[in-house]
């Protein structure tokens, strides 16, 4: 029996290693590809930022999305504060963990819903109203290498085994760790000569927070219904509306054509290069069935959030999306990625957008 289990484990390790080697090989091949693009549609966005050594793509991408929404509606450019969102969201995450008696995840990751709910509940502030990312720990950008493990230890110690209640005053200890590494959120601040609180500043931006929805496409739930995507970083349990992938891609195309940017959450493993390209291997076709198979066997996961703001074509006329990343000026296109339409169709977990960008039938539902 012991020999049997050893054989099974060895086979599993061989399969895992082979899969990893295949992904590395595909990534190496893709990273050597050099392509040029012709812009078809490009919408205004704010500057590319750098999340650096922090798992906060969700905060950078979604605030970048809201910045582009403000730019679309008012023509005004804002630099909203990611660390304000992170501070409040990690405290909300800790509160959720305690309310779940420890049966929840403490994670750097998040989703577009986190940013929306932080702004709704706590407000927002401009970038310069808080310490610059990394400045409190002697770094030039956000670096959570020491911060998050300490936060994780602090939060996980609140709910002890066989405890009948969480540790007293646990909120103070959690908030102290967060504030020490990324700074305290301001109660009020001055912006362009006017004094605001985070909530009054959020109100001044002109965003209707009820306008934003999440769409997804999976077959383990019925289409044309809402469901909560079962992903570790979706701890707020906010539902997404489920539609066939062809319809979701049509929504994406029409939104961009109508002048709306779209926040994108999905998978960037395997065929997503560090050079600024994301495209599927030759012969791979995105289908509803393949999406579901890869989701169920973990080949496809939810691990990144970015901002889609335009369309382009390559030398052969193949369609791509222009995508703003949060890795600074990296890659061949200085922080911008070109992601093929097929790649997006296969690797999208959800899209997050203004409901006014939807056609009437979906918008009503």
Distance separating alpha carbons of residues 12 and 143, to the nearest angstrom = 35
Angle at 291 between CA 277 and CA 240, to 5 degrees: 95
Whether the per-residue pLDDT at 357 is higher than 80: the answer is yes
All domains of the chain in start order, with CATH = 29-43+208-364 (3.90.70.10), 81-204 (no CATH)
What was the pLDDT predicted at 8? 38
Taking residues 114-122, report their average pLDDT.
98
Distance separating alpha carbons of residues 206 and 200, to the nearest angstrom = 11
What was the pLDDT predicted at 360? 62
The encoded tokens of residue 213 equal 């929805």
Contacts of 352 (CB under 8 A, 6+ apart): 62, 65, 112, 113, 212, 213, 214, 215, 262, 263, 264, 265
Distance separating alpha carbons of residues 282 and 273, to the nearest angstrom = 15
C-alpha closest to that of 253 among 321, 304, 338: 321
Structure pTM? 0.90
The H or E element containing residue 352 is: strand 348-354
The encoded tokens of residue 23 equal 């992904």
The encoded tokens of residue 114 equal 């986190």
What was the pLDDT predicted at 331? 95
Contacts of 200 (CB under 8 A, 6+ apart): 123
Whether the per-residue pLDDT at 351 is higher than 80: the answer is yes
What was the pLDDT predicted at 17? 37
């Amino acid at each position: 029996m012991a020999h049997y289990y050893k054989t099974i484990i060895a086979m599993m390790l061989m399969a895992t290693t082979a899969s990893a080697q295949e992904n590395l090989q595909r990534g190496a091949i893709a990273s050597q590809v050099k392509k040029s693009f012709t812009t078809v549609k490009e919408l205004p966005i704010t500057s590319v930022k750098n999340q650096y050594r922090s798992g906060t793509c969700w905060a950078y991408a979604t605030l970048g999305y809201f910045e582009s929404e403000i730019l679309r509606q008012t023509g005004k450019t804002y630099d909203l504060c990611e660390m304000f969102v992170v501070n409040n969201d990690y405290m909300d995450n800790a509160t959720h963990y305690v309310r779940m008696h420890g049966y929840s995840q403490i994670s750097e990751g998040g989703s577009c819903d986190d940013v929306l709910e932080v702004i709704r509940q706590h407000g927002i502030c401009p970038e310069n109203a808080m310490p610059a990312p990394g400045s409190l720990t002697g770094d030039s950008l956000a670096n959570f290498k020491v911060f998050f493990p300490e936060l994780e230890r602090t939060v996980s110690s609140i709910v002890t085994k066989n405890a009948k209640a969480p540790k007293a005053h646990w909120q103070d200890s959690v908030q102290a760790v967060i504030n020490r590494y990324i700074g305290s959120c301001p109660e009020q601040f001055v912006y362009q000569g006017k004094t605001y609180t985070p909530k009054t500043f959020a109100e001044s931006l002109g965003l209707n927070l009820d306008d934003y929805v999440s769409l997804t496409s999976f077959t383990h739930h019925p289409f044309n219904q809402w469901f909560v995507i079962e992903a570790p970083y979706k701890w707020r349990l906010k539902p997404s509306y489920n539609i066939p992938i062809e319809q979701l891609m049509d929504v994406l195309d029409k939104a961009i054509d109508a002048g709306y940017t779209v926040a994108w959450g999905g998978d960037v493993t395997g065929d997503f290069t560090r050079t600024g390209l994301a495209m599927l291997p030759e012969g791979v076709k995105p289908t509803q069935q393949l999406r579901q198979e890869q989701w169920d066997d973990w080949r496809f996961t939810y691990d990144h959030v970015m901002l889609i703001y335009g369309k382009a074509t390559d030398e052969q006329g193949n369609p791509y999306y222009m995508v703003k990343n949060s890795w600074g000026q990296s890659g061949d296109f200085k922080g911008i990625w070109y992601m093929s339409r097929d790649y997006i169709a296969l690797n999208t977990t959800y899209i997050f957008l203004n409901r006014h960008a939807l056609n009437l039938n979906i918008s009503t539902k």
